[in-house]
Amino acid sequence: MALLLCAARSEPSASPESPAAASRGVERQAFGTTPAGDSVDVFTLTNEAGMSMRVTNYGGIILSLRAPGRDGRADVVLGFDALDDYRSDAYAASSPYFGALIGRYGNRIDEARFSLNGTTYTLDANNGPNHLHGGEPGFDERVWRADPFERADSVGVVLRYVSPDGEAGYPGRLDTEVTYALTDDNELVLDYRATTTKATPVNLTQHSYFNLGGEGTGTVLDHELTIDAEAFTPVDSTLIPTGTVRPVAGTPFDFREPTPIGARIDADNRQLGIAQGYDHNFVLARQDRDTLRRAARLYDPDSGREMTVLTTEPGLQFYSGNFLDGSLVGKRGAAYGPHAGLALETQHFPDSPNRPAFPSTILRPGETYTSRTVYRFSVRTDPP
């Protein structure tokens, strides 16, 4: 085991689940070797409060995230302990993108093509006729350069990946940098930066599936969700936005007040039928990229765990884990069935390169793509 950074500033508070939690710092260990022969590492980040997170530079995958609750810490993200589990045939067949960094384009692009400055670009069609999450392999299967750090208020790792000109069909070389910082206030702060050599669409996101009761302990249908959106973008039968922006008022998509996810998921609603639940982009209450604003809040009444999502992005894809079918078995040995976890993916809207009315995703040479998302963890002490 290579101990890279580990400044023992204080002992974390004891918890029933992790009595031997490490000191504040970042620990680096070998995680395995990819089929291409690249060795990858796993980084264990532990903050002052004893919250910890394991992340690998293979796909930037968050392997575990142990967040505090009324009765101690629990691992609140779906996934596996071993690299091979992220490379199995069963995993490839269901493509859940557990915990991974997504690029170059989070979400779908219609018929896997777009036109820019008079040129039509053809992308990998890896989701029916459409392009999903940057194609295969996307950024979720790339080996990122990793530089761990320890700062006054956080510990973390900077991941860098250079996507060559033409990769997956996209124009321009994209120099990408994603910083994961775990603050001493129990915030996971994600900072994205990218530059390009040619105009190209960019829409980076993080694809963790959360279950605040603990991964493998059941579904998220009892979790209460708030989304700060007045509208969402309805989709066609292949989950591509139709182009309309529909008010949530009076629909099962109205999460402006905290609402259990399961309360309306089986409602007779065409949009819920198409996606077998929620798998939709919510239009957040503002469109500028400069301010970090609350996008959502998720609360598990049983454990008291609460997660607040803040972002500079204009959209939030709420995916209620509809296509998890029990074929993948997670860290505690439980099969992940429908709604075993949910994703709250901060991003620009799906298919924006083909939708001029949506906020633009085009990055041009000389510009720097920047985006910030915060997942803030807290505990409500009031009993359920």
Stretch 97-136: interaction string toward ligand BGC, x if CB under 6 A:
x---------------------------------------
CB 269 within 8 A of CB 138: no
Q: Smaller CB distance to ligand BGC: residue 25 or 315?
A: 315
SS3 111: helix
Q: Smaller CB distance to ligand BGC: residue 69 or 277?
A: 277
CB 213 within 8 A of CB 302: yes
Please state, in angstroms and rounded to a whole number, the distance separating the CA atoms of residues 197 and 124.
Answer: 21
Dihedrals phi, psi of 119, to nearest 5 degrees: -110, 135
From 345, 352, 361, 372, residue interacting with ligand BGC (rule: CB under 6 A): 345
From 317, 352, 361, 373, residue interacting with ligand BGC (rule: CB under 6 A): 317
Among 180, 184, 163, which Cα is nearest to 77's? 180
Q: Smaller CB distance to ligand BGC: residue 48 or 124?
A: 124
Least distance between ligand BGC and beta carbon 376 (Å): 21
Q: Smaller CB distance to ligand BGC: residue 149 or 323?
A: 323
Q: Please report whether residue 232 would count as binding ligand BGC according to CB under 6 A.
A: no
Q: Please report whether residue 239 would count as binding ligand BGC according to CB under 6 A.
A: yes
* Residue closest to ligand BGC (Cβ): 319
Dihedrals phi, psi of 260, to nearest 5 degrees: -60, 140
Q: Please report whether residue 96 would count as binding ligand BGC according to CB under 6 A.
A: yes
Instruction: Say if residue 157 is exposed, middle or buried (CB neighbours under 10 Å; 0-12, 13-18, 19+).
Output: buried
| Residue for token pair 């609140």 | 76
List, in sequence order, the alpha helices (H) in the chain.
89-94, 270-275
Least distance between ligand BGC and beta carbon 360 (Å): 21
Residues with catalytic roles = 207, 345
- Residues at the interface with ligand BGC (CB under 6 A): 95-97, 239, 279, 317, 319, 323, 343, 345
